[in-house]
Amino acid sequence: MKRAWIIAGMAVLALAACKKNEKPEPQPVDFSQYKIRVEPVITRVTETNFEAGDAIGLSVVRKSGDYATNVSMKYDGTAFSGDLNWYEEGEDASTIKAYYPFKEGEGLPTAFTVQHDQSKGTAASDFVSAVKENVLPSANAVSVVFKHQLSRLVTTVKNNTGATIESIVFEEFVPVANVAADLTAKVADGAKWQPLTPFFQNDKYYLIVPAQTVKPVVKVTAGGKTLTQQLAEVSLEPGKQYTVSMIVNKEEIKIVLAGEIENWDDGGEITGGGPSFTENLEQGYFTYDGVKYNVVKMKDGKWWMAQNLAYLPEGCTPATEVSAVTAGVFAPLQVKADHSGLEFSTDPAVVAKNGYLYQAEFALGLKVGDLTSVADAQKLEAAQGICPKGWHVPTIGDITGLVGKAVSPIETNKNAPYYDGNNGSIALLNADGFNMAPAGMVSIQDNTKTSGLLQGFNSNYPDRITSSMFCGSTYAGVTYNTSGDETSGVKNLQFFGLMPMTNKATEAEYTCNGTKVSYRIAGPVRCVRNVN
């Protein structure tokens, strides 16, 4: 019994000890007493970091619904905070969404527009955002990763003009982005491009734009002269940086590769995507791919080239054989030394005087063989083609507005300034600086021919080329492999062009009218400036 009592006593003591050491049940923490704080892990907003005073918009989404929407929080140098407290329940996870720069409004932004003039800095145009799921309330700051949602261009410029660069402007970029629910951004469909001015710092120009596929155009003004260059088409991606390195000479801009990328993800280099171009209308010329061309404003109110185009796209060699029926471009023609006919010439002086001879598809920016339907031909009216930006291959409206007369069914415009009552007059045109003279052509009748003929020589006037057919962009007619049967396929397409003729005794009799030109004939090109 004594032993039993001892054991029982020990049990009572042990029970007492257990009750003495037992911990009280933990009480739920009320997290509503804690402010929400966000510690940013960032790529970059300014050149270093978020700055004190920067504001983000914060939203907190619970399963039960939105707890907070687009609340402003300011950066104190370590974290973002404001007047927003956590909700009470500590086990209820939520999703945090944050973006910069903060925009006052009822909800999260659905669109973002970069500043058109970023010359004072890019921070206000740098849309960054962060989304973090399964966040539990805490007394500690929540660490979230901010990412750039737009793209950045960094441009370096080597200035060889001897003059101060007054401005750089980028064109063709759409500045508006749509913002999705997850705060990613995508360029707004249908929005118009705007000229954008970059921010200059430490010998570089910085520009932020929505991610998009674009052929940018850059304009550099130095010494009162504006030079223009189109860049290669590029598909910009969010969060990536692209470099442009320019050499600015007195007459042109050259695009070359640039150096290494820092901070943003490397998106690569953007190179020159086309020939350099600058207009100097007040001086009566433009420079295109390094070649100076005279231009003149005629009495029709339009600017015209006052000499024939002599532009060759990179990698293109002009043909010098009439059998090259799909060459696209041919060398110019000259009268043979014995005055017996015409011949091709590669003499730079002849090229400068007469320009190259272009087949219509090539002149209109295509490859020979691309056109296979009337519908496609009709779409090419007023096409830029191989003309410089802002200029186009002449339409029938341009032609009759200038010289008045063209072949049927085009009605004569008797009010045209260079119509003399019977024909378009070369004498009247040239009196106003048009400098029109026939340059011959390579006649290829249709797409079934395997050889062409050199035309434009008249033995009665052996000292000069007497005719040409200049390229135009307005569809004029079609013939099919089987007459009238569209399903048999196109044999020939025609465009309205210009036809100067000097097969007369005196210059007063020389004519220049509109005509129909087979799309395989190779003739000169005179570009017309678009009407603004």
| 318 closest CA partner among 501, 526, 528, 524 | 524
398-404-405 Cα angle (round to 5): 110
Q: Which residue range forms the structural domain that includes residue 123?
A: 31-148
For residue 12, being part of any structural domain is answered with no
Among the candidates 249, 283, 317, a domain finishes at 283
Among the candidates 248, 283, 318, a domain finishes at 283
Per-residue DSSP letter, 75? E
For residue 414, being part of any structural domain is answered with yes
pLDDT for the residue 11:
35
Verify that 426 and 304 share a domain, yes or no.
Answer: yes
The per-residue DSSP string of 309-346 comes to -----TT---B--TT-TT-SEE--EEE-TTSSSEEE--
The structure's pTM equals 0.57
Verify that 309 and 453 share a domain, yes or no.
Answer: yes
CATH number at residue 86: 2.60.40.2620
| 320 closest CA partner among 329, 330, 311 | 330
Report how many domains make up the chain.
3
Verify that 110 and 185 share a domain, yes or no.
Answer: no
For residue 24, being part of any structural domain is answered with no
CATH number at residue 192: 2.60.40.2630
Verify that 480 and 505 share a domain, yes or no.
Answer: yes
For residue 2, being part of any structural domain is answered with no
Among the candidates 222, 252, 283, a domain finishes at 283
CA-CA-CA-CA dihedral for 336, 306, 466, 516, to nearest 10: 120
Task: Please give the chain's pLDDT, 532 residues, in tens.
Answer: 333 333 334 333 333 434 445 555 656 678 888 999 998 875 444 443 688 899 999 999 998 899 999 999 999 888 899 999 999 888 889 999 999 999 988 789 999 999 999 999 999 999 999 999 999 998 889 988 899 999 999 999 988 888 889 999 999 999 999 999 999 999 999 999 999 999 999 889 999 999 999 989 899 998 888 888 888 888 899 988 888 888 888 777 665 433 233 346 666 555 555 678 888 898 899 999 889 999 999 999 999 999 999 999 888 999 999 999 999 999 999 999 999 999 999 999 999 999 999 999 999 999 999 999 999 999 999 999 999 989 999 999 999 999 999 999 999 999 999 999 999 999 999 999 999 999 999 999 999 999 999 999 999 999 999 999 999 999 999 999 999 999 999 999 999 999 999 999 999 999 999 999 999 999 999 999 998 6
Residue 101: is the preceding peptide bond cis (ω within 30°)? Answer: yes
For residue 216, being part of any structural domain is answered with yes
For residue 198, being part of any structural domain is answered with yes
The per-residue DSSP string of 226-293 comes to EEEEEEPPEE--TTEEEEEEEEE-SS-EEEE------SSEEEEE--EEEEEEEEEGGGTEEEETTEEE
Verify that 69 and 138 share a domain, yes or no.
Answer: yes
Verify that 330 and 371 share a domain, yes or no.
Answer: yes
| 496 closest CA partner among 370, 409, 375, 435 | 409
For residue 4, being part of any structural domain is answered with no
Q: Where are the alpha helices (DSSP H) in 36-195?
A: none
For residue 424, being part of any structural domain is answered with yes
DSSP reduced 3-state for 532: coil
**Would you put residue 206 in left (φ > 0), alpha (ψ -120 to 50) or beta?**
beta
> Is the separation of the CB atoms in 527 and 388 below 8 Å?
yes
Verify that 271 and 350 share a domain, yes or no.
Answer: no
Verify that 60 and 179 share a domain, yes or no.
Answer: no
Verify that 140 and 270 share a domain, yes or no.
Answer: no
Does an H or E element contain 208, and which? strand 204-209
Verify that 124 and 228 share a domain, yes or no.
Answer: no
| 167 closest CA partner among 241, 235, 85, 224 | 224
> Is the separation of the CB atoms in 332 and 307 below 8 Å?
no
Verify that 314 and 273 share a domain, yes or no.
Answer: no
**Would you put residue 5 in left (φ > 0), alpha (ψ -120 to 50) or beta?**
alpha
Verify that 509 and 483 share a domain, yes or no.
Answer: yes
Non-local CB neighbours of 524 within 8 Å, separated by 6+ positions: 308, 309, 354, 355, 356, 357, 358, 439, 468, 470, 471
